Amino acid sequence: MSKSVARLGIGGPVGSGKTALLESIVPRLIKKGIEVAVVTNDLLTTEDADRLKRGGFLASERIIGVETGSCPHTAIREDPTMNLLAVKDLEMLYPQLDIIFIESGGDNLASTFSYDLIDSYIFVLDVGAGDDIPRKKGPGFLQADLVVINKIDIAPYVGADLDLIRQEAPLHRRGKPIAYTNCKTGEGLDEVIDFIFKTVLFRHSSVS
Ligand SMILES: Nc1nc2c(ncn2[C@@H]2O[C@H](COP(=O)(O)OP(=O)(O)O)[C@@H](O)[C@H]2O)c(=O)[nH]1
Ligand SMILES: [Mg+2]
């Protein structure tokens, strides 16, 4: 299915830092002249969309909160109709868009996106979930185009061995990229921005 604007999914468990990642990278992309819009997914509220609007770095009209009202992965994989409609609205309102982010509702390690909805997706995990997370080999972790292991700052406080994560995660990812981030300080975000330019925006512009 051909898409007129690049679409990047942001998936991962509840609280791993998906919205925080958007809050960190969207202003950086805007500074580089990229035209951005965002769709967020929550079960019964538009909490994340409202939070991004309060952030003030993106015009409120460029942010749509989808209320999925069901299992979050249904709305990004089995039946992405609601998200596709939100994407279509944004594309019609802003024909100049370069990229639309679609943040999934917080889900589990099995959560993946339909490629009818997105071109690529990032799976966000945080070290607070434990240093055994890479070994659990969830499909989201294994298949995502980029894995972001976030909250590296809290590793010492939750007894997670970051060196072990850095050692084991690449073995299971088999060469696919991983970024280690701290959304509070910006550490590691250059790798995420690089991925977006090289893999998402470049690939999209070279095929469209
Ligand atoms: N210490 C620390 N906290 C973070 C980081 N990223 C996100 N958080 C916090 O983790 C909580 C959940 O983040 P949020 O972006 O809402 O997660 P989401 O549910 O995946 O969208 C919030 O209180 C954030 O401030 C990080 O890199 N370090
Ligand atoms: Mg969120």
The per-residue pLDDT for 206 is 61
pLDDT the model gives residue 118: 97
Query: Residues 158-186: pLDDT tens digits?
Result: 999 999 999 999 999 999 999 999 999 99
Residue 207 has pLDDT above 70, yes or no: no
* Predicted local confidence at residue 1, as pLDDT: 46
In a mutational test of the pocket of ligand 1, which residue from 19, 101, 158 has the highest number of ligand atoms less than 8 Å from its CB? 19
Banded pLDDT at 107 (limits 50, 70, 90): confident
Mean pLDDT of the chain: 94
> pLDDT value at position 137?
87
Predicted local confidence at residue 110, as pLDDT: 84
pLDDT exceeds 70 at position 3: no
| Position 106 pLDDT exceeds 90 | no
CA of 99 to the centre of ligand 1 (A): 23
Check if 183 has its Cβ closer than 6 Å to any atom of ligand 1: yes
15 lines ligand 1 (CB under 6 A): yes
Neighbouring C-beta atoms of residue 203, cutoff 10 Å: 14
**pLDDT band (50, 70, 90) for residue 119:** very high
Condensed to tens digits (0 to 9), the pLDDT of residues 70-81 reads: 788 899 999 999
Quick check: CB of 150 below 6 Å from ligand 1?
yes
Residue 199 tokens, joined: 């893999």
- Strand, coil or helix: 192: helix
Residues 6+ apart with CB under 8 A from 102: 7, 8, 9, 10, 38, 39, 41, 76, 83, 87, 113, 117, 118
How far is ligand 1, taken at its centre, from the CA of residue 14, in Å?
9
Instruction: Taking residues 38-59, report their average pLDDT.
Output: 95
pLDDT attached to residue 72:
84
What beta strand segments (E) does the chain contain?
A: 6-11, 36-42, 63-67, 99-103, 120-126, 146-150, 178-180
> Sign of the C-alpha dihedral, residues 48, 125, 140, 170?
positive
- Measured CA to CA, the distance from residue 160 to residue 127 in angstroms comes to 6
Range with the poorest average pLDDT among 90-99, 133-142, 153-162: 133-142
Name the CATH topology of 6-197: Rossmann fold (3.40.50)
pLDDT of residue 139: 94
**DSSP-derived secondary structure letter, 152:** G
Report whether residue 17 contacts ligand 1, using a CB cutoff of 6 Å.
yes
| Cβ contacts of 207 within 8 Å, gap of 6 or more | none
Ligand having the closest approach to the CA of 154: 1
> What is the average pLDDT across 51-63?
97
